[in-house]
Structure 1
Amino acid sequence: MSLKPLKKAVLPVAGLGTRFLPATKAMAKEMLPVVDKPLIQYAVEEARAAGIEQFCFITGRGKTAIVEHFDVAYELERTLAERGKQTELDLLRAQAVPPGAIVTVRQQVPMGLGHAIWCARAFIGDDPFAILLPDDLMMCDVSCTAQLARAYEETGGNVVAIEEVPRDRVNRYGVLDVAEDKGRLVSVKGLVEKPPVDQAPSNLTVIGRYVLMPEVITHLAKMEKGSGGEVQLTDGMAKLIGHQPFHGVRYEGRRFDCGDKAGYLEAQVAFALQRPDMAPAMRAILKQYA
């Protein structure tokens, strides 16, 4: 049986961003810039590089700027054109997505990541879909989502991006119970959300990139509460294991936790150093604080 192509992505963006208050009092945390692009744009660009064509933003109150960011700004574009600012105009046009490519769904009550994904059930339908958490900013030569898409084509089932963390930090993540470790691909026999350190089955943890089969929605719809009293995506994914292929992918690249202040600041430095137009100035600045 041929696989359905991966063309859909869900981006949960309803969080309050309390760790970045007061900056996020009136500003969506996903609009926080890294150098000169907001986190949400990095996520969308990553997904588009993997062939994703349709996007569903799971939003909450005060998140309208996220959608407007991808709209056409006619007045701004006209002003840039009149002033001969072609470089800036090209940047704006490059971020635009085709009409109808973005839909939004409200998550009125914050009941967990699993609940947020369930809110996108009509958008997902019977298709495989990617999930990107914009807080996890990826620096990869090949889009992290593209790496997962390739693994999906190889295995024909669910795949999640994974990385090893120190044992004393496993209680912050969803953790894999490994059936077979093949290097890049890890066959999964179980998943545990935020286990106590002494009970974690491994130190291989799931980060904010997934490609899942639509059957996960059936399990999330039961609204069973897990860790933290919330509907956990990890619990829904765990119920797919044994019924569908499920693999972890050791992605090639680097993740920056931009839900954390230190991680966000590190991302600013790393992404600036990667750019020829910014690297010399950033290095000069850093020398002052060495």
Structure 2
Amino acid sequence: MREIRKVVLPVAGWGTRFLPATKAMPKEMLPIIDKPIIQFIVESFINIGIENIIFVTGRHKKAIEDHFDHNHELEEHLKKAGKEKLLREVVKISSLINPIYVRQKEQLGLGHAVLMAEPAVSQEPFFVALGDIIVENEEEELKKMIHLFRKFGNSIVALMEVPKEEVSKYGIAKVKKLDEETYIIVDLVEKPSPEEAPSNLAIVGRYIFTPTIFEKLKVTKPGKGGEIQLTDAMRLLLEEEAIYACKVNNTVYDTGNPKDYLKTVISFALRREDINGELIEFIRGLIKEEPKKEKAK
């Protein structure tokens, strides 16, 4: 069985929910305080020994390429200014990974983005990680997925429990339980209503695929908006081989919309000892002011 050496990061989307902020800046580069979202994800894979990162990008995503490259002018400026700590951090970013950039010329869905990575992946098993999801202690979850892949040799999906009333926001899995944290996928339903949902287990945005997924993506019919959906290709894959799943136990942060992005920023800020004291006092002040405003009305 071949080891997993590569991860595909589809980052070519327009980020329309964050416009106009994302007109010139990729949503994956939005900061969680002082680190862009995409770097959290990349570092998790680096920490488990996967350095070959395949970015599926668009013409408006050059900032991602620049972020993981050297900036000699900035490095020289920091050196002259004596800002050694920042200099080390900036240099470290540029040497984190072996990046491969693949252009998705048309935005034809997540499935299409993954298919564009086929020449770079070749006939190897590989990870897919969505660029707007951060998982706390993610290395633990990724190692769990790798363990299952080594055990079964099949594609693996990460799942999380969500409130029943929120299932319409996710791809939902119908599963057969193997043990407390392991399942075999029976079916997948994209954004079902609470009444139609087969479970409350949602796809997290972390996958391990065998190369067979490329064959299925090539014959997957476009759905709404002419997009090729990864979930549809996975359902075709189920006809040929089993897909296993594991449940994520750590907190999952969705940064794909403004409300959840702000929740993520606040959550991370409250854990930062260098800034959480003043932030907590600021939030307490806002809470105290609210009743006054209501009374004034």
Match of 1:22 in 2: 20
SS state at 2:189 partner: strand
SS state at 1:27 partner: coil
The structure-2 alpha-carbon separation of the partners of 1:77 and 1:62, relative to structure 1 and needing over 3 Å to count, comes to: same
Separation (CA, whole Å) in 2 of partners of 1:232 and 1:217: 12
Is residue 194–residue 227 contact of structure 1 (8 Å, CA) maintained in 2?
A: no
Query: Is 1:264 aligned to residue 261 of structure 2?
Result: yes
Deviation at 1:154, TM superposition (A): 3.0
**1:230 counterpart letter in structure 2:** E
The structure-2 alpha-carbon separation of the partners of 1:146 and 1:285, relative to structure 1 and needing over 3 Å to count, comes to: farther
- Worse-matched range after superposition: 225-234 or 50-59: 225-234
Separation (CA, whole Å) in 1 of partners of 2:210 and 2:286: 48
Q: Which runs of 5+ in 1 are unaligned?
A: none
Deviation at 1:227, TM superposition (A): 5.1
SS state at 1:240 partner: helix
Q: How many residues align?
A: 287
Is residue 155–residue 245 contact of structure 1 (8 Å, CA) maintained in 2?
A: no
Query: Is 1:191 aligned to residue 188 of structure 2?
Result: yes
Deviation at 1:251, TM superposition (A): 1.5
Q: Which runs of 5+ in 2 are unaligned?
A: 288-297
Residue-by-residue CA offset, 1:209-258 (whole Å, 9 max, x unaligned): 11111110001012412355421101111222254342221112111111
Give the one of 84, 87, 96 matched to 2:85: 87
The structure-2 alpha-carbon separation of the partners of 1:235 and 1:143, relative to structure 1 and needing over 3 Å to count, comes to: same
Is residue 44–residue 138 contact of structure 2 (8 Å, CA) maintained in 1?
A: no
Query: Is 1:154 aligned to residue 151 of structure 2?
Result: yes
Is residue 59–residue 106 contact of structure 1 (8 Å, CA) maintained in 2?
A: yes
SS state at 2:90 partner: helix
Is residue 128–residue 214 contact of structure 1 (8 Å, CA) maintained in 2?
A: yes
TM superposition score normalised by structure 2:
0.90
Separation (CA, whole Å) in 1 of partners of 2:134 and 2:140: 11
Deviation at 1:27, TM superposition (A): 1.1
TM superposition score normalised by structure 1:
0.92
Is residue 193–residue 227 contact of structure 1 (8 Å, CA) maintained in 2?
A: no
Deviation at 1:98, TM superposition (A): 5.8
Residue-by-residue CA offset, 1:106-141 (whole Å, 9 max, x unaligned): 111111100110011101111111111111122226
- Worse-matched range after superposition: 132-141 or 142-151: 142-151
Match of 2:67 in 1: 69
Is residue 160–residue 249 contact of structure 2 (8 Å, CA) maintained in 1?
A: no
Is residue 57–residue 102 contact of structure 1 (8 Å, CA) maintained in 2?
A: yes
Separation (CA, whole Å) in 1 of partners of 2:199 and 2:223: 20
Cα root mean square deviation, aligned: 1.8
Is residue 176–residue 192 contact of structure 1 (8 Å, CA) maintained in 2?
A: yes
